[in-house]
Amino acid sequence: MSDESNGNLIKDKLVQLRCHFTWNLLIEDVEVSDLENRVFDEILCLDTKYNVAIYNLLAYVKHLKGQNEEALESLKKAEDLIQQEHANQSDLRSLVTWGNYAWLYYHMGRLADARMYLDKVENTCKEFASPYCYRMECPEMDCEEGWALLKCGGKNYEQAKACFEKALKVDPENPEFSTGYAITSYRLNSFNKVTETTEASCLQALKEAIRLNPENAYIKVLLALKLQDMGQEAEGEKYTEEALTSESSQTYVFRYAAKFYRRKGSVDKALPLLRKALQATPNSVFVHHQIAICYKTQMIQIKKATNWQPRGRDKEEVHRLLQLAIAELEKTLQLKPTNEMAHVELADMYAENGDPTRAEEMFQKALRLEVCNPHLQQEIYYRYGQFQEYQKSSEADAITYHLKAVMLTEESSSPRDKSMRSLERLAQKKLRRNASDIRSLSILGFVHKLKGEMNEALECYERALRLSAELRTLWDMIDGR
C-alpha cells in the first residue's frame, strides 16, 4: 500500500479520536502566544491535581506553533503524571494523550508511530467495551475536554460548561468535575448577561466546589468576587482574607484578591498584590491590564478630589499615573492583540493624554475586532460614542454609535443603558437648539419607547410626523413656483 493510501486510512481513524486535535478548540492565530503564556503560568503557579490536562494542552499549543518535538516532550510529561496520579486507571486516563500522540506523529509523517498509538486506543476501547473503536464515552474524557475548552477563551465557554455538566451527571461528587464546572460558570457569568437565576446558579456551583475542595484558595477568591457582584461584599471579603492566608495557588489568589480590592475602592491594597503576581507571571495579560485599571482609578480619584482641576503636584501625579496606565495597556496589547477592553481603555488614555489621532486609531482597531460578547461590543460602541461627542465634537457620529449600542440587543446591559441616556441627552440638547429637528424628535421617541414610556414616545413621533408633513407641504409649494 502506498504511503498516501496508508496516510488516508490512518486519517480516517484519527478523526474518530477524542483529543485536542478533534475538539474544535476556537483559537485565533494571534492568541496562541498568550495561550502558551497562560498555560506556563498555570503549570508554575497554580497548585492543582489536574496537571495532566494542562500538559496535553501545552503539547497542542506547541504543535500550533510548529514546535512538534517540544510537543512530544509535553506529552511525555503528561504520561509520567498519569503514572504518578492515576496509576490504577492509567489506560483510561491515557486516551487523550495517546490520541494527541497519534495526531502529532501523523503530522510529522511518522505513520508507524501514529498507528501504534491508534492501536493503544483501540485496545483500551475494547477492554472497556466501548461501542466505538477509537473513542470512549466517559466522564474523565468529558472533563479533560472541558478543561481544554475553558483554557482556550470565551468562544469556548458554553461548550466547556456542557462538558463539565455531562461529567457531573455521572459523578456529581467528583471534586475535579465540580471545580471545572464552577470556574466555567464564573467565567460565563462574567462573559454573558447576568440574571438572578444565572447568578444564583454560579454562586451555588462555587460553594459546591469549595465543599468538595475545602483547601482550594483559588475557588474561594472567585466566590468572593461573585459575592461582591451580588452586593454581599462583606462576606466576600471574608473569603478573600481567608484565601490570602493560604499558600495554595498564591499568584492566582493575588490576582483575583487584587481585583476584589480594586472594585471595593482599595487600590492601595490591590496594587501590591498585583506587583507580587507580576513577579511570578511577568507575561500575564490579566495582571498588566488590572495594574493599568488601578492607575486609571488612582488618576480619577485625584481628579475628583480636586474638582476635576488638578494643579501643581496633583497635576504632575495625574500625568505620571496616565503614562503608567498607557505603558501597562500597551504591554497588555503586545501580549494579547485581541484584548477588546484594553484597546478601548488605551484609546481613552490616549485621548486623555491629548493625542486624539492615536485614540482614533485604537478605537478603529477595537471596532474591527471580532467580538463574540454582545455586551462587550456595546461597551465599545458606547465608549466610541463618548469619544466622538467629547473629543471630536461630533454629535452626529456620537448618536450613530450610541444607536448601534442600543440596537445591538434588546436585553438590558450597563453600556446599553448608558447609551440610551446619552441618546436622550443629545436629542434633548439638539431640540433646545432647534425644536423642529425631526431626527432628534424621532430619536427621543425611540428612547421613550425603549424605556416603556409609550405616551411620551407617541407624543414625540406625532410631533415628528406633523413637522414632516409641514416640510413636505413647504417643498411642494417651492416646487410649484
Q: What is the pLDDT of residues 242-253, one digit of tens each?
A: 999 999 899 999
Whether residue 92 has pLDDT greater than 60:
yes
pLDDT of residue 326: 98
Nearest of 329, 294, 262, 311 to residue 303 by alpha carbon: 311
Q: What is the mean pLDDT of the chain?
A: 93
Sequence-ordered list of residues with C-beta below 8 angstroms from that of 217, at least 6 positions apart, any chain: 242, 243, 244, 246, 248, 249, 250, 253
Whether residue 420 has pLDDT greater than 90:
yes
Tell me the average pLDDT across 254-271: 97
Sorting pLDDT into bands at 50, 70 and 90, what band is 481? very low
Residue found under cell 476584589 = 260
Whether residue 39 has pLDDT greater than 80:
yes
Residue found under cell 467495551 = 129
* Separation between Cα atoms, residue 416 and residue 394, nearest integer Å: 20
Tell me the average pLDDT across 315-320: 97
Q: Provide, rounded to the nearest whole percent, the portion of the chain with pLDDT above 70.
A: 96
Sorting pLDDT into bands at 50, 70 and 90, what band is 372? confident
Compute the C-alpha angle 155/373/413, nearest 5°.
150
Residue 256 near residue 222, CB atoms below 8 Å:
yes
Tell me the average pLDDT across 286-303: 97
Whether residue 292 has pLDDT greater than 60:
yes
Whether residue 49 has pLDDT greater than 80:
no
* Separation between Cα atoms, residue 370 and residue 337, nearest integer Å: 12
Grid cell, residue 138, equals 466517559
Tell me the average pLDDT across 203-211: 97
Sorting pLDDT into bands at 50, 70 and 90, what band is 471? low
Q: How is residue 154 annotated by DSSP?
A: G
Residue 202 near residue 238, CB atoms below 8 Å:
no
Tell me the average pLDDT across 470-481: 59
Side-chain-side CA neighbours of residue 5 (13 Å)? 2
pLDDT of residue 412: 84
Sorting pLDDT into bands at 50, 70 and 90, what band is 387? very high
Tell me the average pLDDT across 62-82: 96
Whether residue 4 has pLDDT greater than 60:
no
Residue 382 near residue 422, CB atoms below 8 Å:
yes
Whether residue 396 has pLDDT greater than 60:
yes
Q: What is the pLDDT of residues 320-347, one digit of tens each?
A: 999 999 999 999 999 999 999 999 999 9
Tell me the average pLDDT across 146-157: 94
pTM of the predicted structure, to 2 decimals: 0.90
Sorting pLDDT into bands at 50, 70 and 90, what band is 51? confident
Whether residue 348 has pLDDT greater than 80:
yes
Q: Which of 82-86, 144-148, 281-285, 308-312 has the lowest mean pLDDT?
A: 82-86
Whether residue 134 has pLDDT greater than 90:
yes
